[in-house]
Amino acid sequence: MRKIDMTDQLWARLLAMRGSACASAMDDGDPAVALYAPIAAAPAGFVLAQVGQSLDGRVATPSGDARDISGPDGIAHLHRCRALVEAVIVGVGTVKMDDPRLSVRAVKGPNPVRVVIDCHAELTGEERLFRDGGAPVILVQGDDAPAKSYKADILRVRPGEGGLDPHDILDALSARGLTRILVEGGARTIARFMEAGLVDRLHVAIAPLIIGSGPAGIALSPIERLSSACRPEARVYALGSDILFDCALKPSDRSASRESQDVRVADHA
Ligand SMILES: NC(=O)c1ccc[n+]([C@@H]2O[C@H](COP(=O)([O-])OP(=O)(O)OC[C@H]3O[C@@H](n4cnc5c(N)ncnc54)[C@H](OP(=O)(O)O)[C@@H]3O)[C@@H](O)[C@H]2O)c1
């Protein structure tokens, strides 16, 4: 397991790489560079999904209390990821349940554009992200959603049988210049992007608490046998308060696969 020791100087270098497509030029063997440079310098079309969960795989209590699952270093990690992308996406369920700000507060860095998938225009317009004066908000709605007034840009996407196609959502965001994306939840939203094959990397940050019951962070379609389970190549990082699994979901992400094998061999030695 590799330990992340972030310094102000290193973080400033990573922020300066944002959107530069030069990750390899900075790969100096530092675990923080290995973790964050591929996000900072990702090519257009890059999608990171992130879940912060308990030891028993929960992201909230059954009544929906989701605050403070991640420890301080897990939160700093999430905010670094927000600062390195151009837009953060959540589903309407997360906004209704958590009323999040989706801003960068735990570290220095720019706030991403906030994107909410609200297919049927369920939000009232009174939610915090419309009123906090923060980064711009984009609502992604079906083109048959009822017209309501929001302090946000509305992106209309034609719904298919299963809702809005994540490819169409990314295309619409790309047309607005938003091409490096963090999908932050909840479970159904991450699952839709994963099942569409659009997630390059999945970060699962695990905090040392046991909730016992409650929703999980990813809600993929059920499988019969473990042989069908997704077993991504993963690097493991000690963030401090939390442990992070950095999973390469796309087979083309060979650099992560190679490095993960190297790390595993080193750990056995
Ligand atoms: N710990 C974490 O990292 C983290 C982060 C964020 C949220 N959360 C937790 O996750 C929970 C909310 O998760 P959730 O799964 O209920 O809600 P969600 O994923 O935020 O939102 C789900 C809603 O969005 C719709 N939706 C998503 N993608 C869509 C698409 N492509 N087309 C049409 N509709 C789409 C879903 O429709 P369908 O029902 O038709 O799929 C559903 O109505 C909360 O408890 C929150 O605290 C945890």
CA distance 110 to 88: 12
Handedness of CA 229, 230, 232, 237 (dihedral sign): negative
Write out the two tokens for 123.
Answer: 């939000």
pLDDT of residue 229: 95
pLDDT of residue 27: 62
Residues making up the chain, counted from first to last: 269
Dihedral angle computed from the Cα positions of residues 11, 15, 21 and 23, in that order, rounded to the nearest 10 degrees: 0
235 pairs with which residues across the strands? 246
Residues of the chain under the 70 pLDDT cut: 22-28, 251-269
Tell me how far the alpha carbon of residue 7 lies from the centroid of ligand 1, in angstroms: 34
| Domains observed in the chain | 2-210+231-264 (3.40.430.10)
Would you say the CB of residue 97 lies under 6 angstroms from ligand 1? yes
pLDDT of residue 19: 84
63 CB neighbour count, 10 Å cutoff? 7
Whether the Cβ atoms of residue 179 and residue 28 lie closer than 8 Å to each other: no
Would you say the CB of residue 192 lies under 6 angstroms from ligand 1? yes
The pairing of beta strand 243-248 with beta strand 113-117:
unpaired
Mutate to test the pocket of ligand 1, among 70, 81, 118, 189 (most ligand atoms within 8 A of CB): 189
Tell me which residue has tokens 């997630």.
Answer: 199
pLDDT of residue 162: 86
CA distance 266 to 115: 40
Write out the two tokens for 206.
Answer: 């695990």
Would you say the CB of residue 214 lies under 6 angstroms from ligand 1? no
pTM: 0.92
Tell me how far the alpha carbon of residue 101 lies from the centroid of ligand 1, in angstroms: 16
pLDDT of residue 244: 98
pLDDT of residue 250: 86
pLDDT of residue 254: 43
pLDDT in tens, 230-266: 999 999 999 999 999 999 998 655 444 444 443 333 3
Measuring CA to CA, how many Å separate 193 from each of 4, 5, 39, 91, 200?
28, 31, 17, 11, 10
Measuring CA to CA, how many Å separate 127 from each of 142, 150, 173?
20, 10, 22
Would you say the CB of residue 110 lies under 6 angstroms from ligand 1? no
Q: How many CA atoms lie within 13 A of 26 on its CB side?
A: 25
